Copies of this chain bind each other. A is one copy, B any other.
């Protein structure tokens, strides 16, 4: 099975570990044995001007996933939204009303569906590939989250080269290591069966430190500085 998925994660933090805004949306192609990505793409956000309601994230994820899926023709596309594995192209108003989610969640999805339902319908008509809102149950969605963390580290390196220093929060229970010419990362949850990722990056002249975010258990902070 070949699966494309996308997820958004990584946040620029203040010195007091308060989140300013999210940094990276990653789309990945995941193939058997489903432990890492064969291909990845990133779209960076502007953390200083970020809509924290969550709608920007899911929209960015859908468009980036479709872009990668057009290229690699997977069997299915997984989005990180827990509305029960439903096909996004079928999300009309009566279907959303019938979902067992909160009224607030229904309003959000009615708004989102205006963009995403036509996108999914068009993509399905052209390729036969379904986009499903499967959420946290999907391993490819988790791998996309790990890649969002890798690209967040890459963004932090570039930011530190310009501004001297960056403090970013990684997605949930993952770590990164900045190695010569690349950034490696892996899940800290062994129950996930060994999920990891790696991207290329210019890492010369960069110092870094990784440690637990004291205010948010199970999330790590990455500090990066120019040496």
Contact = CB atoms under 8 A, between A and B. Distances in A.
Contacts of A188: 190-191, 193
B136 A214 contact: no
A50 interface: no
Contact of A211 (B193, B216, B218): B193
Interface in A76-104: none
Interface string A164-177: 00000000110100
Given A189-B218, A190-B190, 19 more contacts: A30-B214, A33-B209, A34-B212, A34-B213, A34-B214, A35-B211, A35-B212, A137-B216, A138-B215, A139-B216, A140-B214, A172-B191, A173-B191, A175-B193, A188-B191, A192-B212, A193-B212, A193-B218, A194-B212
A195 interface: yes
Interface in A157-203: 172-173, 175, 188-195
Interface of A: 1, 3, 16-17, 30, 32-35, 134, 136-140, 142, 172-173, 175, 188-195, 209, 211-218, 220
From A140, A209, A212, residue with most partner B Cβ within 10 Å: A212
A1 B17 contact: yes
22 contacts: A1-B17, A30-B214, A32-B211, A34-B214, A35-B211, A136-B217, A137-B215, A137-B216, A138-B214, A138-B215, A139-B212, A139-B215, A139-B216, A139-B217, A140-B214, A172-B191, A173-B193, A189-B191, A189-B218, A190-B190, A192-B217, A194-B212
Contacts of A142: 217
A89 to B, nearest CB: 19
A30 B17 CA distance: 15
Contacts of A192: 212, 217-218
Contacts of A32: 211
Q: Give 10 closest A-B pairs by Cβ, nearest first.
A: A33-B211, A173-B191, A193-B212, A34-B214, A191-B218, A139-B214, A188-B191, A34-B212, A139-B212, A188-B190
